[in-house]
Structure formats: structure tokens, C-alpha cells
Structure 1
Amino acid sequence: MTNIILCGGNGTRLWPLSRTLMPKQFVKLFEEESLFQKTVIRNEKVCDSQFIVSNAEQYFLAVDQLEELTHNSTSNTRHSTQYLLEPVGRNTAPAIALACLALDPEETLLVTPSDHLIKDEKAYLEAVEKAKYLAEKDNLVTFGITPQYPETGFGYIEAIASVIVESDSDSGMDVIHFHEKPDQQTAQQYINKNQEDQSLSQSTITKFFWNSGMFCFKAGIFLEELEKYAPEIYTASLKAFQNAKQEAVIRIHHEEMMNIPSESIDYAVMEKSDRVKVVPADIDWSDLGSFDALYEELPKDENSNSSLVLSDSKKEHKANDQLPITNHATGNLIISEKQVAVVDVDDLIIIDTADALLISKKGSSQKVKEVVKTLKERNSELPNIHVTAHRPWGTYTILDESNGYKVKRIVVKPGKRLSLQKHYHRSEHWVVVSGTAIVTQGTETYAVRANESTYIPIGEIHRLENVGKIPLVMIEAQVGEYVGEDDIVRMEDDFKRA
């Protein structure tokens, strides 16, 4: 069985912790592991390979975090991994279709988002085995989470089964209907219906489940149903796949991707197919779709405060002596990159990063996406990138920025190099702090060592490379009329970026 891991989400409801170039699935929130890493580790127990669908920017985060798992593993080998890169997201139906086209039609697939938290792993693995059994009988299987309260942030699955059939551990329930995210009153009606059916003696039972967004089916069966119920998505996906760059990493062309209708797997297939089964899954699950949800999952102190202290560069836990100070404060969630103290405040969400501060009442954190929308309307970079940005060759941290200049700390990993490039609006001054930089400037190549510097004029073709065995650390001062990140013209790039 192959685990298809969908990595395309941006996690806008967890801004400013989550950004487009460092979304929540790659932030290390629990036990110094990211949700993506936890997904990989969890599903390696039941799958013998993984197929990661990502956009080009997040692909390098996935590669780095998989390498980290390999480095930390006691095993010398990990499961085989394939990658498919989307230049732009078109929702889950095209993403899954493109992955299915790359795999054997008879291969059973476990499709999972990369940003879910599942704490009851034993129950999860049992549910996956049931789903696999049903998928091998040519069903499309989804996982239903028994709702614990009337949540309005999830879609719901309405399913039915006979009491006798439900007792069969290998049988799923037949799906009656997929429901949109309900209002509070409708969500409560679903909960009441579940409780009523439990108290009645009857031959069949109807249950409502949270829609987990996880699926299990054969690749060929999904494509058959997609072609039947959403032929325009199937045809456009097939064309995009056939015209893709079929290399070690499958890269879909931008124009081809844009030609695929944007649609979820639920709308495109699951709501229409008569092959759908749902496996109830009481697995202590959360999609961490808001800071309220994150608060529930983090440890609490004696006053019910949850906190997480992040470093300003690697997003890892700091020592306990830097945890927030909470005096006469209860029920707060505090995540910060610096020391925070709160006094006489209750039930607040305080998220403090190097370049943005969010303060919200608990219960209102779903509205964070409205803040992100406002920032995008202002053409702000804050929804997209942290002060420290992760690139395929390493990282850069913005130390200072104003009109006409920007100062960065650049770290290049051993054996990596930046693209061969030029800038139309800025010159660059480089000072090496540690390591040795190999600099290409025009037709000349030379070394710059610790405490040495070099200068790159406007319009000069240049490249930076680290051929050493330790990270190259340097300070870059950009000077010019425009110092935006999009003032880059790439001539060559090891990572095939545009």
C-alpha cells in the first residue's frame, strides 16, 4: 500500500505561525517533530512506499524533513518516496488524480493530509486495516471521526448500516450524504441524532461523522469514478500528467495545471459515487484547523495556560526557563519567539513572531483567515514568509530592512549552491562569517573566506556555492532602489526553479 501525502495546504488559520513558505504541517509543534514528520512515521507502519504531492516551494521542506527522519532513525533504510510537484494548487481531486496516474492501477492507496494530529495510533492502524480490506474489494473508503461536540468548522458524513453488519469488524458503513460545514444549530442536530440512535432498538443505525479528509482506494478505481463523475477533471489531469516533466520528480507545467478545474475529492467523486464506504475511526484526531484546536492539544499548566516557545530561526523548542510568565492569568494560549509575561488576562490567544503579533479571544481564532485576507489585499508579504525563510540550499534571515537596503544572514548547506542569477535593481555586499564561499562573478570564480568580503554590482551575473563540509554563514547587505525577493533573474538552477 502506498501513502499519498498531500502537502499543499497553507494553514492560513494558524497565521502568523503558519505561512505559505512554512505552513503548519512543517512547523515543529509537538515533541520537536512536525505534523508532516508524524504523518510519515505513522503511515510507514502500514504502507511500504509514500507519494508526496506538494508545490515547488514546500517540496524542499519535505525533502529536508524526510532527510532529518532518516538521520535520526535507527534503521539504515526508509520507505521509497516519489514526488509530484504542482505549480499551483487546484484542490484535492486533481492532486489525487495526478498521483493515481503515476501509480499502478491495482495499487491500494492511503490518502492523507500532512497536517493532522492523531494520538491514538493503535486505533488508527486498526481503522486503516479495515479500510484497506474494503478498498481491495473496489470500494472508495473514507474515514469518519465520531464527533465529540457540535463543530461548525468540519464537514459531516451521514452514513447508515444494519446493526448486524456494523458488528462485523471488516465492514464499513454505507454513505448516505456528505454535508457542508453546518451552522451551530445544524451541528447540534447531528450530535442529537447520534445520541438518539444509540438509545433506540432498531435494525439499522444512522450516524453522523466528522469528515476527516482521509481516504483509501485502488488507484484505478478512483480514476474510473473520476472519469465517470468529473470527466473534465479526469481529461485535464491526464493531459497534464502526460505532458509533465517525467524525471526523478514529476513536475506539472503551470499552464496545464491551470487548465484542470479546481475541485475537492468530495465534490468531484465521493458525493456521487455508489462505491463509497465509511470506516468509523475513534482515533483522537484533530486537524489543528485553528489556534483553539491547538490549545486543546498542548500541555497545560496548573492555571490551564498552554504555551510554546519557538526559536527565531529553526522553530524548535527552547529551554523551560524561557516559557511565558503568567501571573493571575488562566486559560491562555501563548506562542512566542521571545520572553512573554501576561498579567490578569484570561482566555486569550497570543501568537508573537519576529515580524507579526496576533491577539485574539479564544473561540474567535477561526476569524484569523480574515486577517490574512486583509494582509493579502494590502500586498503584504506577511502571509507568505517568516523573517527566516527556508530555501532548497539553506536559509536566510532578514536582520534589517528599510527604503533602499536590506540586510540578511545567509546560511548555505554543505554541497549546495544558489542559482546563477542577476539583479536589475540592487547591488550586494557579502561578508563571510564562517566557512568558505565559492563565488562566481561574471566569468571569474574565486574563494571568499571567514572575515573576507566581496561585492556584486547591479546587473552582474553571479552565484554563491558552499563546497565545504560545514555550513557557510555570511552577511549580505543589499543596496538599491528595490530590494524585493522577486528581483531575481535565474540563468541556471540546480533546483529547477523558474
Structure 2
Amino acid sequence: MTIKSVILSGGSGTRLWPASRESYPKQLLPLTGERSLLQETATRLRGFTAAEVDPRPLVITNEEYRFIIAEQLRQIGVRSPQIVLEPVGRNTAPALTLAALTAAEEGDPILLVMPADHVIGDLGAFQHAIAVGAAAARSGALVTFGIVPDHAETGYGYIRAGAVLAAGEGARALEEFVEKPDRETAERYVSSGEYYWNSGIFMMKASVWMAAITHFNPDMARSCSAAIDGRSQDADFVRLDAAAFERSPSDSIDYAVMEKLATASDLGQGVVVPLSAGWSDVGAWDALWAVSEKDADGNAARGEVIFEGSHNTLVHADSRLVAAIGCEDMIVVETPDAVMVAHKTRTQDVKKVVARLKAEGRSLTQSHRKVYRPWGWYDSIDAGERFQVKRIVVNPGAKLSLQMHHHRAEHWIVVRGTAEVTSGDKTFLLAENESTYIPLGHTHRLSNPGKVPLEIIEVQSGSYLGEDDIVRFEDTYGRAPA
């Protein structure tokens, strides 16, 4: 039986601000290595030998992240991924229902359901647990993975496990899910040996999930089925019938099905597989420090960092050298447009800063200075009254929309590669060190006809320089009006 990875990638991860932003959340960031958390998740079954694995992950995400996700999957060699776009967020149970309906069109695979933003430190232990879970799922069980706790944690929900199953290699009967406990209760859970942290990772056959969700929440099953029936294909993406999906109730996999299995044994047994594989949901900066490689003083670093007399400190540097002197149990996060400094015990308070910035209408919670687009990216490297300077990189073969601006003119200088420029009724090529001027109100387009990235410097001037001063006439990526 084939295992198919289902990756849930819809969260914003604001507790990892300023690195994580709403338009570029934590699952798209390389927090623990060279690859993003999404890329790590998509490759987690490579080399798995206990069952056949479908090489095409099925990703459930939203409109805003679609091009970034497609590009990141392309970078790691994933061919023809299935990317389903939710028009609105409806939590994890509808997302899994969409995945099950999509996967069932090609048979009845075992679905391995994984959030895109988790860290797994021990891949071998993870794959062993997946093999155990697959054996149970093959027989019709609905499987969840319980993290073996190493301390009393009050920030996670817990799973209570029952008897060890005879043929389960450590798999246990699922008894109940419990909410986040207080400290005393968490200590009792851990000492009992009957409780695991709730990982949010699941396995079951597509047909088993559909039978369960149809039984427990028929409205959700109907709405998701109608959304799939009314879908359309847009390049690499599946667009749902938005009106149908919006009618779906919002619920989690836990609440919608897993918690109710004890009273509905005819729908399949609930099974818990213990997982001890260096797991973390990277819910805050202190959690990232805990799973990062550290030096002899307990310091962890990403980017160009110098530690001097510092201990048990994390420094995440994106764009410049950061020197940490005499820091104890600190978190320092540097990005081109914001710096955050916190004690490790106060990292949950990052969400309070994000809330304040939102209340003030600041864009720092929404996007980075470097903004990704389907054709490449741009970085706003300087700005002032009536001017803005951008560094723009266009991928080989990509092109921006045919557009015009009411309030600004633009001057383009080619730094690397070859640019194909449409300006008014003329189309011409620019080589390195050449430039052109686009007057205000002029229809224009920038394309990269070459095989290497095109890099230009754009100088904008005018009375208004906002991104909403764009009138699109044609667009390869469906952003122009019909």
C-alpha cells in the first residue's frame, strides 16, 4: 500500500516574529539548516523502505503562499506536487478531508498528515515510528503520534494511551485527548507514563478518514466534496469551489474525529504510536534554541554571529554581523527591518509586540523588506520622500505583468543578466550596465529571456510609491483582471 504525504501549510507563526511574517511564515524559513521547514517536511520520507511512498506530496495551503511553496518544492526536486488552495481557513479537519478526497481519486493510499512547521531531529527514529503507524493504518486504524515527554510541559495538549497492542511494536490504544494542563497536572501526566504530547501528526487510509468524517460531521464532508467537485486547475494549483468550501464547519482533526473514536469503535480503532525523534513544533524562539546545535557554552547561532562571554543564547542574524557580549539566556533576532531582543523566559510575549504593531497599522507584521513574487523577488533597499530604490531579481524565463503606474516613473539599471523590456510600443534588450527610463503612465513590462537570474536596480520617483499603484493589463500568473 502506498503512503502519501499530506502537508498542512497554512499558519502564520507570529511568535517567531520578526523572522516569521504573515506573508512569509515560519514554515517557509530555513530555521534549523539550509532548507526551510516545509522542505524538510516534504523530504521526511526519502529513503523510507517499509512501504512504497508517493513522491508527490499533497500540500494544503492558501492563495498567498502558493508560488513560494511551488518554488521551494521545485528547489528540492519535487516534481508535479499537488497543491490545493483553500479560499478561507477552516482548520485541519476540512484540510485533511480535501486531501483524502483528492488522494482517493488515485486509489486508497495511507495518508501521512504532517504540519509543515515541525522539526524532527532523528529521522531514523521518525521513519521507524511511521512504519509502525503504517502497519496499524493498513488494518483500518486511525493513528496519531504521541511525543514521548521529557519534561512537564504546560504548552502542549496531551494524549492518554491505553493498553499496548499485541501486534503494534509499542503502539497503544488511544484513550483520550486532554487540554493543556497546569504544572501540577502536567507533572502527574509525565510521571504516570500513560500520557504523550499531542504532535498533530496522523496516519490513516483515505477511505477510513472519509468514513469517519462523514459519520461525525456530515456537513463538513458534504461541503468539502462539493468544493472538490467544483474545483478548477490553475497551472500547478487546484482551486476549490469557494462558496462550497466556505460552508464547511471549522474544526481540528482532534476534535472532529480522533477524540470521538472511543464511542464509535465500528469506525476504526484509535491508535497512539510513541514518537521520540527530537520533535519540536518550534512554537517560540526558546523552542528553536532547544533543538538547535550549540557550542560548548550552550550558544546557538544562524548567520554571521560572534559570541563573547555569552551562555545559553540564540542569535538569528539575517543580514549583518551580530556580536553578543555577556548575554545569558537571551534571544536576539536580526532582520533587515527589525531587531528583537528577549530573555528566553519571555519569548511567548513576542505575540504582544505583534499585536501592538498591528494595532498601530505597521506593515512589519505582514511582510519582510524582501518580498517574494511568482517571478522572483524584490528588496526595498532605500526610500525617502518621493523616491524608492529596489533590488529586483527575475527568475530565468519569468516575466512581470504588463502594467502602468499613475503616480511614479521608474529607472532600471541592469546589474546582471539580460533584460527584455517592453516600454510603450517598443520591445528591446538591455545588457549588463545598460539602463532605461519608464515615464509615468507608460505601459511597460520586464522579462528575463536568459538562463541566469536577471538582477536590476530600480529607482522609483513620484508622488506616491505604494504597491497598489499598479494597473495590470496582462499577467502570466493570473493577477490581471479578467
TM over 0.5: yes
In structure 1, what is the Cα distance between the partners aligned to 2:160 and 2:248?
A: 29
Residue by residue, what CA displacement relative to the aligned partner does 1:323-361 show, whole Å, maximum 9, x if unpaired? Answer: 2232x3222111113222233331111111110111111
Aligned to 1:138: 140
Shift in alpha-carbon separation, 1:426–1:258, aligned structure 2, 3 A: farther
Aligned to 2:72: 65
Which stretch of the first structure deviates more once superposed, 264-273 or 410-419? 264-273
% identical aligned pairs: 43
Q: Does the CA contact (< 8 Å) of 1:48 and 1:80 recur in 2?
A: no
| Residue among 45, 48, 56 paired with 2:54 | 48
RMSD across aligned positions (CA): 2.2
Q: Structure 1 residue 213: deviation in Å? A: 0.7
Aligned to 1:265: 253
In structure 2, what is the Cα distance between the partners aligned to 1:492 and 1:267?
A: 45
Aligned to 1:97: 97
In structure 1, what is the Cα distance between the partners aligned to 2:242 and 2:385?
A: 34
Where do residues 223-372 of structure 1 align in structure 2 (5 Å cutoff)?
223-247=210-234, 248-252=236-240, 254-273=242-261, 274=264, 275=268, 276-309=270-303, 322-326=304-308, 328-336=309-317, 337-372=319-354
In structure 2, what is the Cα distance between the partners aligned to 1:79 and 1:393?
A: 19
Residue by residue, what CA displacement relative to the aligned partner does 1:400-430 show, whole Å, maximum 9, x if unpaired? Answer: 1234332100011111111223334433222
Residue by residue, what CA displacement relative to the aligned partner does 1:86-138 show, whole Å, maximum 9, x if unpaired? Answer: 23332211221112111226221111112211122222112111111111222
Q: Structure 1 residue 167: deviation in Å? A: 5.7
Aligned to 1:217: 204
In structure 1, what is the Cα distance between the partners aligned to 2:207 and 2:465?
A: 49
Aligned to 1:17: 19
Q: Structure 1 residue 63: deviation in Å? A: 2.5
Which stretch of the first structure deviates more once superposed, 111-120 or 44-53? 44-53
In structure 2, what is the Cα distance between the partners aligned to 1:394 and 1:239?
A: 35
Shift in alpha-carbon separation, 1:335–1:37, aligned structure 2, 3 A: same
Residue by residue, what CA displacement relative to the aligned partner does 1:203-224 show, whole Å, maximum 9, x if unpaired? Answer: xxxx111111111111122122
In structure 2, what is the Cα distance between the partners aligned to 1:439 and 1:257?
A: 41
Shift in alpha-carbon separation, 1:305–1:176, aligned structure 2, 3 A: same
Q: How many residues align?
A: 463
**AA matched with 2:314:** L
Shift in alpha-carbon separation, 1:64–1:347, aligned structure 2, 3 A: same
In structure 1, what is the Cα distance between the partners aligned to 2:80 and 2:400?
A: 27
Aligned to 2:8: 6
Residue by residue, what CA displacement relative to the aligned partner does 1:274-302 show, whole Å, maximum 9, x if unpaired? Answer: 43221111222111111111111222223
Shift in alpha-carbon separation, 1:454–1:388, aligned structure 2, 3 A: same
In structure 1, what is the Cα distance between the partners aligned to 2:294 and 2:275?
A: 26
Shift in alpha-carbon separation, 1:470–1:246, aligned structure 2, 3 A: closer
Q: Does the CA contact (< 8 Å) of 1:127 and 1:280 recur in 2?
A: yes
In structure 1, what is the Cα distance between the partners aligned to 2:116 and 2:25?
A: 10
**AA matched with 1:402:** G
Aligned to 1:487: 469
Aligned to 1:312: none
TM-score (normalised: structure 2): 0.90
Aligned to 1:83: 83
Q: Structure 1 residue 64: deviation in Å? A: 2.3
The SS at the match of 1:401 is strand
Which stretch of the first structure deviates more once superposed, 92-101 or 485-494? 485-494
Which stretch of the first structure deviates more once superposed, 354-363 or 401-410? 401-410
Shift in alpha-carbon separation, 1:463–1:190, aligned structure 2, 3 A: same
In structure 1, what is the Cα distance between the partners aligned to 2:248 and 2:88?
A: 11
In structure 2, what is the Cα distance between the partners aligned to 1:253 and 1:440?
A: 36
Q: Does the CA contact (< 8 Å) of 2:333 and 2:340 recur in 1?
A: yes
Residue by residue, what CA displacement relative to the aligned partner does 1:365-415 show, whole Å, maximum 9, x if unpaired? Answer: 122122222222222221222221222211111111234332100011111
**AA matched with 1:23:** P
TM-score (normalised: structure 1): 0.87
The SS at the match of 1:100 is helix
Aligned to 2:427: 445
The SS at the match of 2:43 is helix
**AA matched with 1:142:** T
Which stretch of the first structure deviates more once superposed, 165-174 or 260-269? 165-174
Q: Does the CA contact (< 8 Å) of 1:21 and 1:57 recur in 2?
A: yes
Shift in alpha-carbon separation, 1:413–1:259, aligned structure 2, 3 A: same
Where do residues 316-465 of structure 1 align in structure 2 (5 Å cutoff)?
322-326=304-308, 328-336=309-317, 337-465=319-447
**AA matched with 2:72:** Q
In structure 2, what is the Cα distance between the partners aligned to 1:255 and 1:455?
A: 45
In structure 2, what is the Cα distance between the partners aligned to 1:87 and 1:430?
A: 36
In structure 1, what is the Cα distance between the partners aligned to 2:229 and 2:9?
A: 22
Where do residues 103-122 of structure 1 align in structure 2 (5 Å cutoff)?
103-104=103-104, 106-122=108-124
The SS at the match of 1:52 is strand
Shift in alpha-carbon separation, 1:282–1:342, aligned structure 2, 3 A: closer
Aligned to 1:197: none
In structure 2, what is the Cα distance between the partners aligned to 1:120 and 1:281?
A: 10
Residue by residue, what CA displacement relative to the aligned partner does 1:12-71 show, whole Å, maximum 9, x if unpaired? Answer: 11111112233222222334222222222222334223212222332222222222223x
Q: Structure 1 residue 455: deviation in Å? A: 2.9
Residue by residue, what CA displacement relative to the aligned partner does 1:213-262 show, whole Å, maximum 9, x if unpaired? Answer: 11111112212211221222222222222222135421235554443333
Q: Does 1:151 align with 2:178?
A: no
Shift in alpha-carbon separation, 1:190–1:425, aligned structure 2, 3 A: farther
**AA matched with 1:39:** T
Q: Does the CA contact (< 8 Å) of 1:133 and 1:170 recur in 2?
A: no
In structure 1, what is the Cα distance between the partners aligned to 2:474 and 2:108?
A: 40
Q: Structure 1 residue 182: deviation in Å? A: 2.4
**AA matched with 1:115:** D
In structure 1, what is the Cα distance between the partners aligned to 2:376 and 2:458?
A: 14
Which stretch of the first structure deviates more once superposed, 432-441 or 125-134? 432-441
